[in-house]
Amino acid sequence: MSLTTESRSDQAGREMNLVTAVNATLRQEMQRDESVRLMGYDIGPIGGVYRATQGLLEEFGEERVIDTPLSENGILGTAVGMAMRDCRIVPEIQFMGFFYPAFGQFMYTLVKMYERSGGNLEVPMTVRMPYSGGIKSSEYHSESTETYLVHTPGVRVVVPSTPYETKGLLAASIRSDDPVFFLEPKKIYREGKEPVPEEEYTLPLDEARYVRRGEDVTVYTYGAMTRHAKAAADSVDADVEIVDLRTLSPLDVETILESVKKTGRAVVLHEARRTLGMGAEVSALINEYALDRLKAPVKRATGFDVHFPGHQTEHAYLPDEQRATDAIQAVMDYEF
């Protein structure tokens, strides 16, 4: 799983931002496969809270774009049943912080169905969820609790960080026979555009990618934090390598270890809470399998172990370029 895919910003295509790429991919997959159906609250005439499904009801009709009551538990449970009856269903949960009412369906039906049926029942569904903070929203609208998902066997967890990545990863997710949680970092829904090919393509669901190559220190990150990693890399006097984890489950362990064995230093940057977050897992992997290559202890730059704060103080909670820079500088300055 070591081969990675760079973002193709130099490639010809239509200029898209991240949410436009979501919309284009959903349309493409629905045109390609009649079994693909969408489901969720307000995804029909309104086009979704972020307009990710805008125009799809008019094009594909209410049999394939199903506007539901506001019931996350009902949406996920119904989607599991439809997936078991040959639909390739793409439910939308408006915000990750409202996923918890559906946690019973997640644990008791979705993630265990393949195992409990002895491999006879597949659940091909892609749960789309806007997640993370940075838009000064209200309570439960800025959660970054991907660890709950990653900790549970039976699902893939995917996080794009660019429009190009979004199209390739979302198409691959919808075509996968495994259940996938596709976490869309809403802070960067409309931050920046890049050319995205009009033609179909997919990206692997189990590979990290190198955002940039370097020799002195590796920064592991994903989603909206990738942009802070790039800004920090440009501000320090060090040759920084950036690895976008891209798939949080399964983790691309080979690429993680390959990079740190070269640079000898590692920083993990994410906005989720620190305790038992992705930083803890990546750090443990490095200590378990590459300890003898380290020139400094692994450093984590993360959110804090508190509930996501109100919009007045979210700037103090969220990691940014400065915290990423400080973490990189700390491992560069460290002496045993």
Which residue numbers are catalytic?
Answer: 141
Give the CA angle between residues 327, 330, 333 to the nearest 5°. 150
CB contact at 8 A, 238 and 212: no
Instruction: Please answer whether residues 286 and 256 qualify as being in contact, where contact means their C-beta atoms are separated by less than 8 angstroms.
Output: yes
Q: What φ, ψ does residue 122 adopt, rounded to 5°?
A: -100, 155
Question: Which residue in this structure is represented by tokens 């915000």?
Answer: 95
Report the distance separating Cα 330 and Cα 189, nearest Å. 31
Order the strands of the 217-221 sheet from edge to edge: 209-212, 240-244, 217-221, 266-273, 299-303
Instruction: Find the helix or strand (DSSP H, E) in which 196 lies.
Output: strand 194-196
3 state DSSP class of 58: helix
Using left for φ > 0, alpha for ψ between -120 and 50, and beta otherwise, residue 215 falls in alpha
Distance CA 57, CA 171 (A): 19
Q: Are 207 and 1 in contact (CB under 8 A)?
A: yes
